[in-house]
Every structure is written in structure tokens, then in C-alpha cells.
């Protein structure tokens, strides 16, 4: 390990010491990637001066308390430049040189892209480009609109990721909410993975676009310490708009055979090249630069916590699960001031508007920007808020990468998708979520819920507030009969057996609207002397495999699974998965949507898809 020099303690450093830190960050970015034999040294080197000034002069962060509510937040949206981030950790004195040189090793927390699963100083996983700034919007909204704390959010972006639409969704919403506590730093080094970016070094184009979105834009030389200092001061001075710093840099800056040279993206230097590069940059000093501590303020302006009184609905009446969702989060928001709700301009359909009416300061409209919707929820969640985000279930598919990355980020968010399946009726297939269960089941350690009546919906939504990870609830559009009393409990990971007897000859498994069709079918079959068991599989993941196994043993090892979803990846596959390792696998008949639906009434479309009561009866007769 290299010897450590004495710490540099002054909050305002000379240009010489800041430039020296920039060189040190470049050298360490080279050294750790060469030791790893892979990584992105040149992408790290271009932003070294930008981060040197930020780290020493403006970043307020208590490394011993990374979740301190007053800490500034730093997001490396260009996550492949994490050798620079890890070199900053060494410069701050929180990791050793030996730890830095373990980059990308199987037992090292310094992974190829930042990951909060293993690094406590990282808020969110990055590496799938275009997501850091949208998450930063959520963090900035939390600071300005909920906690009323003066922390700042700094996001380092690569110029290649400026082609991502999610970035411009973030630009739009940050301006709409006047997030002057948010600063985006574009490392405009001109070179992407395979050559020049679409804009190259034309920073005036980025500036014009940003200004059109209502941002304060500053164009600088990203290797000029004085210009960097001035740009940060401009950002801090803004009172009603976010700032973007467009920094013209050189990829591989500081080393003649790397600087502005194509072909070096994601390529580590050899040992000989490392020696040559460090000889140009100068001797490694190992300086330590402690960062400034944040203020010690408490969040202010929170709504007072009240008593939780969940809504309830009378058995025999009718209500839509989507309405029960809105009623539930509105009631929960009264009891818990850490709950926030977000929607994508359909809150009068998802019924998130019930929360908006009750708690307008904690409701955030993301308009029709589903990627920003999910990312903002992640930003809130990282900072301790219980975020519920809703839109039509079909449109979450636009944000699937954000959902996938949320799981990698170890984030906790709650998603509500309304209007699933053919049962939405006349709007047609563009609005019908027929893939969402499959999509959400495949997310790492996700929870997938599909309630069948209003009281069940309320109880499941209340539990979602305490569930870790990514949870998803599928809320039906149609008003459905209330079949459970408000006192009924619904454990996540459980199911409900609605009909059973010793004479049951098969089991029907369903959820949501098809559960009600299954109940009708069971009643019709009973009149013909055929007794069947009916299971409400409201918890799709985790699944109650024990109850399913018991049903198989008691009902002839025969199942009919009925779902308003494509055949692939939905309830039927979830049931089959429960028996994947069973030596006595049951017969499972899947009734699901198999043909592209069109417009029509809900009843017509359920019948056309073969998932209504009549088709269930016909299939049951064949099976028994």
C-alpha cells in the first residue's frame, strides 16, 4: 500500500492542490482498473477535475453516517466511471489503497458498477444509462417539498446517455418543480463506446436544450479549476431552477496516448501502459481530503401523524379494486407522514387522486413519464419515504428497466397497475395489461399481488407499506362484488380457499375478475352434481404452495387456472412453478388470453378469450 500523506483540511483549496487531487484520481482510476484487468479508466479520467472540486469544496457528506438526512447526494449516473468514485473514497480516507486495488474481484464490494447492496455510500445502482438524473429528481423533490432540508443532489452524467429519453423526462420534471437543489454535471468527453457521440463537443446544443426545458445552463472547460469553481457557485446561487453544467472534457485526460483517443472505452491499461501513463501524470501522492460535514437539521413541515382507519366496504356491494387502492393510500397517508404518492397523469382512473385530495403536499404528478415515475419513487424511497407509484398496468412496461434496476438498487417502492386485462373493455389492446404479472414476477425478490375485491385490496395495500423490495398490486377496473368482510385478513404469501368439500373433483385457481367468474362456474357445476374447490390466489408471488399441494392431493391432482393475462408467465405458470420439484405433478389446464383482443364489452371480451364462467364450466366437465 502506498504511504498516505497528511490530510488536506482547508475547505477552500488552491488551484494547485485541487489539480493535484484530479491527477491523483486519474492515477488511481488507472491503477485499480489495471489491477482488475478490466474497467473504464478513460471515462473516469475525463471527470476527475470536476469531482475533485466538488468533493473538496461543495460536497457535504458524513462518511460515517451515509444515511444522515442532511447529507448531499452524489449519483454517478455514468456508473461505468465508478473507478473515479472509488478513487474518491480513497481520497476521502474511507477505503485503503489495498481495497481500491481489489476492484471487480469476486469478494470485493467495489463492483464493476456501483451497487448499494454491497456499498453503504452508494444510494442507487447505476450502469443502465439514463437513470441517475431521474432518481435525483425524486431525491431533490424529497428535500425541497417533503423534508424541507437544504441538502443538494449532484448527478454526474456521461454525454452518451444524454440520448436517453429518460434524461429528458427528468429535465422536464425538475424544471416543473423548480428544483434549484439539483445540479446535473455533463462530462462531455465527446467519445462514446464506439466513437463520437451524436453531438460531440457541441455543448451549445445541450445548453440550448436545457434552457428550453427551463434549466440554468453553464458551459465550461471541465479541466479548468477556476471555471469549475465558478460553475458550482452559479448552481448554488439559483433560487428557482435546476442547473446543468456542460463540461467539455477529454476522455483519458492527462495522458498523451489516451487523451481524446478513440478505441479506449472500457479498456484497462496493461502494466507497461500503466507505468507510462503514471510517469506522465506524476508521482502518486496518496493525499487525503476530508469532505465537509452536513448541517444537523431535522426535517420540518411534515403533516402530523394521525390514527389509521382503513376504509371498508359492505359485503354484497360492488366496488373496484382501483378505487379501494386510492381510498387505502389516502387513509394510510393520514396516519403516516412518510407516505408519498406519485402518478402518471391518470390519477382520476387509478384513484391516486384520493391521496392528492387528502395530502396535496405529498402527491407528485409525473405526467405521462413512466420512467420518471418509477425513478422518482426510487429517489424518495432511498431517503426513507414510503413511495406508492401508480399508472395503467400496461404502461409500467415502458419503465421495466427502471423497475429491474430498482431491484439491483436494493430499493423499496410500491407500484399499482390499474386497468389490467381484456376486462377493461372497449379501449382495446393498447390499454390492456396482459404481460404485467409475468413482468413483475421476474423481478428479483418482488412481491406480486392481485386482489379480487375492495376489502382485500385495502388490506394488501396496507401491508405493502411495510414490504421491502419491489411490490406490485394489480387493480381491476371493473366494479366487482365485495365477497370478503372488512375483518378478513390476507397474509402476503397466502391465498383463500373460497369453496371446498370432501367431494371436490378438481381445483379452480383464479384472482381478480376471473375469481368471480370461477365462483359462478363453481355454482353452476354444483347444480350438475360436480363439486369443485375454488382458490383465490391473491398473492401471486410469494405463492402459498402448501395450500396448492393440499388441494392437489384432495381434488384428484387436477387444476384449472383462469387468468385475464397472456398464457405465458402469469397465474398458470406460477402454479406450475409451485409443483416444479414435485414427484407427483398435477394436471394444470390454463385458461388464459391467447388471441389478440379487440374492443367490446368486458363480458364479451372475457367470453371471447375463453375465461368466463361458461368456458370454465365446459373445461371442468372435460377434466372430470
401 CB-near residues (< 8 Å, 6+ apart): 128, 131, 371
**128 CB neighbour count, 10 Å cutoff:** 18
Residue closest to 277 by CA, chosen among 5, 48, 103, 17: 48
Instruction: Decide: helix, strand or coil at residue 251.
Output: coil
Provide the strand spans (E) within 87-181: 153-158
Between CA 548 and CA 505 the distance in angstroms is 14
Whole-number Cα distances in Å, 397 to 417, 420, 424, 556, 572: 10, 12, 18, 38, 21
Give just the sign of the alpha carbon dihedral 168, 441, 559, 516: negative
Q: How many CA atoms lie within 13 A of 295 on its CB side?
A: 8
Provide the strand spans (E) within 145-267: 153-158, 182-188, 216-221, 243-248
What cell was used for 595?
388471441
Residue 485 exposed, middle or buried by CB count within 10 Å (0-12, 13-18, 19+): exposed
**Band (11; pLDDT cuts 50, 70, 90):** very low
Q: Pairing mode, if any, of strands 447-449 and 539-541?
A: antiparallel
pLDDT single digits (tens) 225-273: 999 999 999 999 999 999 999 999 999 999 999 999 999 999 999 999 9
Q: Pairing mode, if any, of strands 533-536 and 496-499?
A: antiparallel
Between CA 189 and CA 127 the distance in angstroms is 18
549 close to 577: Cβ distance less than 8 angstroms: no
State the DSSP H helix or E strand holding residue 75, giving kind and residue range, or none if neither: strand 73-76
Q: For the residues of 453-478, what is the DSSP string, one character each?
A: SHHHHHHHHHHHTT--SEEEEEE-SS
CATH code reported for the domain at 496-623? 3.40.50.920
| Phi, psi of 619, rounded to the nearest 5 degrees | -70, -35
What cell was used for 435?
404481460
pTM score > 0.85 for this model? Answer: yes
What's the distance, CA 463 to chain centroid?
19
Between CA 249 and CA 259 the distance in angstroms is 9
Q: What is the pLDDT of residue 286?
A: 87
pLDDT single digits (tens) 446-503: 999 999 999 999 999 999 999 999 999 999 999 999 999 999 999 999 999 999 999 9
Residue closest to 563 by CA, chosen among 589, 593, 535, 588: 593
Ramachandran category for residue 541: left, alpha or beta (phi over 0 → left; psi -120 to 50 → alpha): beta
410 CB-near residues (< 8 Å, 6+ apart): 116, 117, 125
Give percent of the chain above pLDDT 90: 96
pLDDT single digits (tens) 375-405: 999 999 999 999 999 999 999 999 999 999 9
Query: How confident is the model over 347-374, as a mean pLDDT?
Result: 98
Cis amide prior to 124 (ω within 30 degrees): no
**Band (436; pLDDT cuts 50, 70, 90):** very high
Between CA 48 and CA 241 the distance in angstroms is 26
Domain 15-281 falls in which CATH fold?
A: Rossmann fold (3.40.50)
Q: What is the pLDDT of residue 4?
A: 39
**Band (284; pLDDT cuts 50, 70, 90):** confident
- Assign 3-state DSSP to the chain and report helix, strand, coil percentages, each to 5: 40, 15, 45
What's the distance, CA 133 to chain centroid?
13
**Band (5; pLDDT cuts 50, 70, 90):** very low
Between CA 92 and CA 87 the distance in angstroms is 9
Q: Is the pLDDT of residue 431 over 70?
A: yes
Q: What is the pLDDT of residue 10?
A: 44
In degrees, rounded to 5, the angle at the alpha carbon of residue 441 between the alpha carbons of residues 435 and 446 is 135
| Phi, psi of 507, rounded to the nearest 5 degrees | -120, 130
Instruction: Decide: helix, strand or coil at residue 608.
Output: helix
Domain 318-481 falls in which CATH fold?
A: Rossmann fold (3.40.50)
Between CA 361 and CA 405 the distance in angstroms is 28
Q: How many CA atoms lie within 13 A of 415 on its CB side?
A: 39
| Phi, psi of 589, rounded to the nearest 5 degrees | -100, 125
**Residue given cell 437543489 in the structure block:** 181
Q: What is the pLDDT of residue 9?
A: 44
Between CA 157 and CA 75 the distance in angstroms is 9
pLDDT single digits (tens) 149-163: 999 999 999 999 999
Catalytic residue annotation: 370
Bridge partners of residue 158, in order along the sequence = 187
Ramachandran category for residue 280: left, alpha or beta (phi over 0 → left; psi -120 to 50 → alpha): alpha
What's the distance, CA 538 to chain centroid?
23
Q: How many CA atoms lie within 13 A of 538 on its CB side?
A: 26
390 close to 449: Cβ distance less than 8 angstroms: no
Q: Is the pLDDT of residue 7 over 70?
A: no
Same fold, 15-281 and 318-481: yes
Please state, rounded to an integer, the average pLDDT across all residues of the chain: 96
Q: What is the pLDDT of residue 283?
A: 83
* Domains of the chain, residue spans: 15-281, 318-481, 496-623
Whole-number Cα distances in Å, 93 to 62, 100, 121, 491, 515: 12, 11, 13, 46, 59
Q: Is the pLDDT of residue 13 over 70?
A: no
586 close to 552: Cβ distance less than 8 angstroms: yes
Amino acid at each position: 500500500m502506498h504511504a498516505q500523506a497528511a490530510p488536506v483540511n482547508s475547505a477552500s483549496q488552491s488551484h494547485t492542490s485541487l489539480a493535484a487531487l484530479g491527477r491523483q484520481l486519474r492515477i488511481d482510476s488507472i491503477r485499480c482498473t489495471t489491477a482488475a484487468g478490466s474497467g473504464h479508466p478513460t471515462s473516469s479520467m475525463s471527470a476527475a477535475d470536476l469531482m475533485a472540486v466538488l468533493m473538496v469544496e461543495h460536497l457535504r457528506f458524513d462518511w460515517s453516517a451515509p444515511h444522515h438526512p442532511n447529507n448531499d447526494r452524489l449519483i454517478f449516473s455514468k456508473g461505468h466511471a465508478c473507478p473515479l468514485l472509488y478513487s474518491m473514497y480513497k481520497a476521502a480516507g474511507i477505503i485503503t489503497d489495498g481495497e481500491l486495488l481489489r476492484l471487480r474481484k469476486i469478494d470485493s464490494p467495489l463492483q464493476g458498477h456501483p451497487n448499494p447492496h454491497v456499498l453503504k455510500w452508494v444510494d442507487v445502482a447505476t450502469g443502465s444509462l439514463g437513470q441517475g438524473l431521474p432518481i435525483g429528481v425524486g431525491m431533490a423533490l424529497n428535500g425541497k417539498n417533503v423534508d424541507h432540508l437544504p441538502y443538494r443532489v449532484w448527478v454526474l452524467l456521461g454525454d452518451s446517455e444524454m440520448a436517453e429519453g429518460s434524461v429528458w423526462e427528468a429535465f422536464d420534471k425538475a424544471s416543473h418543480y423548480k428544483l434549484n437543489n439539483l445540479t446535473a454535471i455533463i462530462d462531455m468527453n465527446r467519445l462514446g463506446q464506439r466513437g463520437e457521440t451524436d453531438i460531440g463537443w457541441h455543448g451549445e446544443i445541450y445548453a440550448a436544450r436545457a434552457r428550453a426545458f427551463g434549466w440554468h445552463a453553464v458551459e465550461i472547460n471541465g479541466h479548468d479549476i477556476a471555471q469549475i469553481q465558478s460553475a458550482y457557485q452559479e448552481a448554488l446561487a439559483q433560487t428557482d431552477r435546476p442547473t446543468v453544467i456542460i463540461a467539455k472534457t477529454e476522455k483519458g485526460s492527462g495522458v498523451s496516448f489516451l487523451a481524446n483517443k478513440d478505441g479506449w472505452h472500457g479498456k484497462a491499461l496493461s502494466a507497461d501502459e500503466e507505468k507510462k501513463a503514471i510517469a506522465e501524470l506524476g508521482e502518486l501522492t496518496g493525499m487525503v481530503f476530508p469532505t465537509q460535514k452536513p448541517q444537523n437539521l431535522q426535517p420540518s413541515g411534515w403533516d402530523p401523524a394521525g390514527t389509521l382507519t382503513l376504509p371498508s366496504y359492505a359485503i354484497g356491494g360492488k366496488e373496484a379494486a382501483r378505487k379501494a387502492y386510492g381510498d387505502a393510500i389516502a387513509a394510510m397517508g393520514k396516519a403516516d407522514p412518510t407516505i408519498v404518492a406519485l402518478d402518471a397523469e391518470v390519477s382520476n382512473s387509478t384513484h391516486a387522486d384520493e391521496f392528492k385530495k387528502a395530502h396535496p403536499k405529498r402527491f407528485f404528478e409525473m405526467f405521462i413519464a413512466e420512467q420518471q415515475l418509477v425513478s422518482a419513487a426510487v429517489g424518495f424511497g432511498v431517503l426513507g419515504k414510503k413511495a406508492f407509484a401508480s399508472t395503467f398496468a400496461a404502461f409500467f412496461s415502458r419503465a421495466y428497466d427502471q423497475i429491474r434496476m430498482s431491484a439491483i438498487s436494493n430499493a423499496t417502492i410500491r407500484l399499482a397497475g390499474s386497468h389490467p386485462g381484456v376486462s377493461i373493455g372497449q379501449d382495446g389492446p393498447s390499454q390492456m395489461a396482459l404481460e404485467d404479472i409475468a413482468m413483475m414476477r421476474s423481478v428479483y425478490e418482488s412481491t406480486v399481488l392481485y386482489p379480487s375485491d375492495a376489502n382485500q385490496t385495502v388490506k394488501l395495500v396496507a401491508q405493502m407499506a411495510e414490504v421491502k423490495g419491489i411490490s406490485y398490486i394489480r387493480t381491476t377496473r371493473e366494479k366487482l362484488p365485495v365477497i370478503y368482510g372488512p375483518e378478513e385478513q390476507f397474509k402476503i404469501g397466502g391465498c383463500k380457499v373460497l369453496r371446498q368439500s370432501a367431494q371436490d373433483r378438481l381445483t379452480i385457481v383464479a384472482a381478480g375478475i376471473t375469481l368471480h367468474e370461477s365462483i359462478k362456474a363453481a355454482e353452476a357445476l354444483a347444480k350438475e352434481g360436480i363439486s369443485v374447490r375454488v382458490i383465490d390466489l391473491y398473492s401471486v408471488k410469494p405463492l402459498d404452495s402448501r395450500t396448492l399441494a393440499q388441494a392437489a392431493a384432495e381434488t384428484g391432482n387436477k387444476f384449472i387456472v383462469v387468468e385475464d393475462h397472456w398464457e405465458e408467465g402469469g397465474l398458470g405458470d406460477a402454479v406450475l412453478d409451485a409443483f416444479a420439484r414435485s414427484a407427483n405433478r398435477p394436471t394444470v389446464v390454463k385458461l388464459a388470453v391467447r388471441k389478440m383482443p379487440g374492443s367490446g364489452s368486458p363480458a364479451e371480451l372475457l367470453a371471447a378469450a375463453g375465461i368466463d364462467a361458461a368456458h370454465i364450466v365446459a373445461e371442468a366437465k372435460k377434466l372430470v
